[in-house]
Structure 1
Amino acid sequence: MPMAGDDIVALIVAGIPDATVEMTDLAGDGDHWAALVTAESFRGLPRLKQQRAVYAALGDRMGGVLHALQLSTAVPQE
């Protein structure tokens, strides 16, 4: 069963409270997602650490119920 975009957003925001998440359904099937996660807490972190923070927020769902996520991270524009 695919994971709903709103559920993905909720998990990310629960783990990264200052995050803003933009979800895109890549295939229109609710199973292949792209996420742009923007957070001030990412400032000064290398992109790899930013992405690891998102994956940590998703927990064991990544690679399980959520198997297709194209992830981009950013810091807010000043």
Structure 2
Amino acid sequence: MSLEQQLIERLQQLSPQHLEVVNESSGHGGYFPGKESHFKAVIVSDAFAGLRLVQRHQKVYAAAGDLLGGGKIHALAIHAFLPEEWKGQDTSSPECAHAPKP
């Protein structure tokens, strides 16, 4: 099973109303076809109620568990929202300075 699919399954424990996991590895240095190292997760869940941003991220890290580090996921951009916060949010990723040039 791909790292992307494993991450999606793990983040399901947060009971998301919306979950988007994007493999952004191809936009980073050292990329080769099939590499899975950089991801973005957009998570909308009531599980974040009453939590500060850092606590929301900690909750996501806990769900991802051992997928982070150890030669698996190198970077995870997290966008964690309550349902009422989510509308109109920009979750686009910046260009990597080390991205392969066309």
TM-score category by the smaller chain?
0.7 to 0.9
1:70 aligned partner:
77
CA RMSD after TM alignment: 1.8
1:53 aligned partner:
59
Give the total of aligned pairs.
74
Distance 1:13 1:49 in 2: 18
2:25 aligned partner:
27
TM-score (norm 2): 0.62
After the TM superposition, list the runs of 4 or more consecutive aligned residues in structure 1 that deviate by more than 2 angstroms: 27-31
Identity of aligned residues (%): 26
Contact 2:10–2:64 under 8 Å retained in 1? yes
The one-letter code of the counterpart of 2:57 is Q
Larger Rg: 2
Q: Mind listing any 5+ residue stretches in structure 1 that lack a counterpart?
A: none
TM-score (norm 1): 0.78
3-state SS of 2:63 partner? helix
